[in-house]
Amino acid sequence: MTRKLTNIQEDVKINKHEGYYSTKKRGKWSVAGIPHKGWKCSYVEDLGEPMIKCQMCESNMIRYVYHMTHEDFPEVLHVGGVCAGYMEDDPETAWRRDRELKRQIARPKRWTSQYLEFMIKNRHLLREQWLSMVWRTSEKGNLYISDSGYRIIIQQRFGRWTFIVADEQNDSFVYNSKNKFPTLDEAKLAAYDHITSILIEIRDSISKLRKN
């Protein structure tokens, strides 16, 4: 007796055919020496819109960027959901993860103390990938990225680096760093740590209001 495929399995079957056969001869899929399986996803990033090409198939423009690592490959690859599924050798799990990611992004976030606590606890994991994330370049030539409802802008002045934090909802400036950093990476990490301190401050304020 042939078991009927569920909707999810059928979708995966279709995606597997279209995703694999349309990309297997493209980009790094056809390059010898680059692993095709055994990768792990360390973080998923939402760029807001399709902005970069998948670094594995080197053809599809992607919005949701999967940061993939492999013990036998020195670089982190930024890839799309289809390629990530085959790199992990588990397209069905990748399909479910991609669907859940889109559902969470579409759902309005409530700034509760529980939600903030969840974000804060997981920020140390994201910090390890922070420098390899995709930063965009503004018309003025400044690097910027979105994080937890804030926009971080990195500027270079007189050979040193500084950062600005703005609220994405109304574009008002929240913080203008007075420190100047010798390297771009130091400025990026300092900006990341400042966002963490903002989230902790908001969480503590919510907790105090609940107690009063």
DSSP labels, 80-108: -HHHHHHHTT-HHHHHHHHHHHHHHHHSP
What stretch of H or E contains 134? none
Find the mean pLDDT for residues 69-75. Answer: 91
Ramachandran class of 48: left when φ > 0, alpha when ψ lies in -120 to 50, beta otherwise: left
Give percent of the chain above pLDDT 90.
23
pLDDT at 201: 83
Residue at token pair 């479910």:
96
pLDDT at 148: 79
Residues 12-45 have pLDDT tens digits of 343 443 444 445 567 899 888 899 999 998 877 7
Q: Residue 101: which residues within 8 A CB-CB, separation 6 or more?
A: 44, 46, 64
Give the span between the Cα atoms of 70 and 90, in whole angstroms.
Answer: 15
Domain locations along the chain: 12-106, 113-211
Of the pLDDT bands very low, low, confident and very high (cuts 50, 70, 90), residue 183 is very high
Kindly report whether the global pTM for this prediction surpasses the value 0.75: no
Find the mean pLDDT for residues 149-170. Answer: 88
Find the mean pLDDT for residues 152-176. Answer: 85
Q: Is the pLDDT of residue 206 over 50?
A: yes
Among candidate residues 209, 43, 42, 195, the one with its CA nearest the CA of residue 120: 195
